[in-house]
Structure 1
Amino acid sequence: MKKTTLLLLVVSFMVACSSVKKTQQAINTGNYDEAINLSIEKLRKDKYKEKNQPYVVMLSDAFSKVTERDLDRISFLEKERNPENLESIYRLYQQLNNRQERIKPLLPLTDASTGKNVAFNLANYDDDLIDVKEDLSEYLYNNALDLLERKNTNKYDYREVFNNLQYLDKINPNYKDVRTLLDEVHFKGTDFVYVTVKNQTRQIIPRRLEQDLLAMDTYGLNDFWTVFHAQKDRNIKYDFNLELNLRRIDISPERINEKEIIKEKQIKDGFKYLLDNKGNVKKDSLGNDIKVDKFKTVRCRVYQFTQQKSSAITGVVKYIDNNSRQLLESFPIQSEFVFEHSYANYDGDRRALNSALSDLIELREVRFPSNEQMVFDTGTDLKEKLKYIITRNKFRN
């Protein structure tokens, strides 16, 4: 028991030394925030514990050094007088403030070697944060307005400005008309795709198939920066066209194939008495006559009929850039559908059949689907393949 206790004390001491060493190493290498995080974690548990006292000094040291570093960086960025530095300055002030807020609940902290409270030079950064936030908000807002007035702005520019405006709305909610600008910039940064189906098969395709193929809301393809329309909106300039060109439709003749199957099976057919070598009925241990099952072979001939009809649609999917009027990509697309129905008749003893054949003889011939229905059913698979092509080959994002 004593050995176990001693071992636990040794392990605990080694872990504590390792943690102190890790924290000091973070300070020595300039990873001040890591050192602060490790120190705060230990002191939160018990800031009066003797083995946690080294973290008091290390926390003070790391905090002092990282504060000096951040303030020096702010001073340098401010001297550059570059408005693009405003966001970095704002984030640095946030870091300074957040560190203090994490340390405040632990104060006061005492240096065990001197018995005195350790000084943390805390500052109030509220005014600095408010001033920089206002300057940054104005910069981001004016930058968005300049972009909207500029000619030949591309989609990616609008998307970048959208992200900046979102950030502005986060740090300064309801600033001027930012939320209205967000809607405008989002609209201008969105790729609009007009989807059409062109029948080049010289055959009439079902109207409901075309409607189903163009039901873009059922594809789940729209994302934040890409919207697909099957109905043209006159107020929108479409960036791309997506054309599904149907080139060929093949429908096979209706066929019924026949197959003959013969099944045999031994089935139980009563019983008989078990006889010994002398022809006498054998008895069991209780004196009862011993009976054994009798079997006989039954046979059944099955005539299986399979109705078949198939259809196939082939075509090509084209991506067209409406600005350059160039074909960007084209992908072949093909879909097949097979109608198949089996049923059966029989002659003989049905008991010879397995369950699968027994089920078949319960079925009857059905009416073949019409050509229109076949084409529509083929289109269901075609829709999934079209969705796959679009998903795998997204427009600009």
Structure 2
Amino acid sequence: MSSKQSSKKASSSGEASEGNVPAPAVAGSVAGESYRGLRRVVITGAGTINALGHDVETTLNAFREGRCGITALNFRDVDRLSIQIGAQVHDWRPEDYFNRQQILLYDKFTQFTLLAAKQAVAQSGLSFVGALGLRSGVILGTAGGGLNTWDENYRAVYEEGKNRVHPFVVPKLMNNAAASHVSMEFGLRGPAFTVATACSSSNHAMGLAFQMIRSGAAQVMLTGGSEAMLCFGGVKAWEGLRVMSKDACRPFSANRNGMVQGEGAGVFVFEDYESARARGAEILAEVVGFAMSSDAQDIVMPSAQGAERAITAAIGDAGLNPEQIGYINAHGTGTAANDKTECAAVAHAFGHHADSLMISSTKSMHGHLIGGTGAVELLACIMALRDGVIAPTIGYQEPDPECGLDVVPNEARDAKVDAVLSNAFAFGGLNAVIALQRV
């Protein structure tokens, strides 16, 4: 453990602890004291809903089995689309989780977020009453926000000729809706906002949450992301880019032909290590590094140099050597532009160690959740560290000489790893990489 990861004790702010959670080991702006050092940050709760399952356990089992969640899409006017497959959440009944008034307020992406958040908080065992609520917050990522609400109301106005929409349309579709409702649901009165950086949204959100706890600005953060773009307008917009596959997502395979959209959410409880240890919490993994970079080059074409900078900086921020990284959950979209660029970035960043590094894309199973994708993919990183199981890249059929890394093809692999990375590279050239290690 590097010195900058070690926990430094500070004098108490004098504020009483509540809910069996001690005051922060290092006081920050929330506690009213100046910055004194860097705190360790751990994950003590996780929740998800996606095409592979409605909870973490089911999702991890699907990773182990190499199960594919990509199916035929089922929604209004799907027959008008040229792309008719996606990683859709099936058997979703919002009335099983929310009352009628809540459903009127919650777009699908908010519904997904709240379910995942409730799972994560339940696992963490935290109650955000009193002082803890003041030291806790939420940062979530999404690209489209309430896209289903947009789609439904555009139809009502432009197709059906209606002149009025529901008064809750704006608070239902706004990108910060999910973060705001999570804040209200759990009484999180600290930092709360939404990050929208296309496909890197969740990684940026989780990285910022990590930085807030590490700096002492918060003690606990709920973080992750969600997306619900699988509606007629959402898929039609992506069709226009001509990057979508009509049959399967095959990252790194020479015969890949594009990405496949998915939907769902992943939410985690990030917590100060000293507080988590003091209350005897189960620790899933430690967040040890985060880095961002901008390609500053092209609005859609990725840059190997920009991705490499983010990878290298995340490892450095974690105080690790490249040789200590055992697994990378790749961005791995299944497009030629991404896959070749990402493999080149990894090869350059790791040098000779790239030959022994495992890298896989779970998008081959749960699809590309756009702004929510990094959150679901973090589950594969936790599984690698905790269970020693590396999720595979399924659908792999033909080796590509430009993607000559160990992509863990088609079958999960048992392997002990101590540190991992999760990559996210977005349109607009916005890169975000998170480093985790086993505690």
Q: Which has the higher strand share?
A: 1
Fold match (TM-score > 0.5): no
> Aligning the two structures, in what range does the TM-score lie when normalised by the shorter sequence?
under 0.3
**TM-score when normalising by structure 2:** 0.21
Structure number with greater CO (CA < 8 Å, separation at least 6) is 2
Bigger Cα Rg:
1
**TM-score when normalising by structure 1:** 0.22
Q: Which has the higher helix share?
A: 1
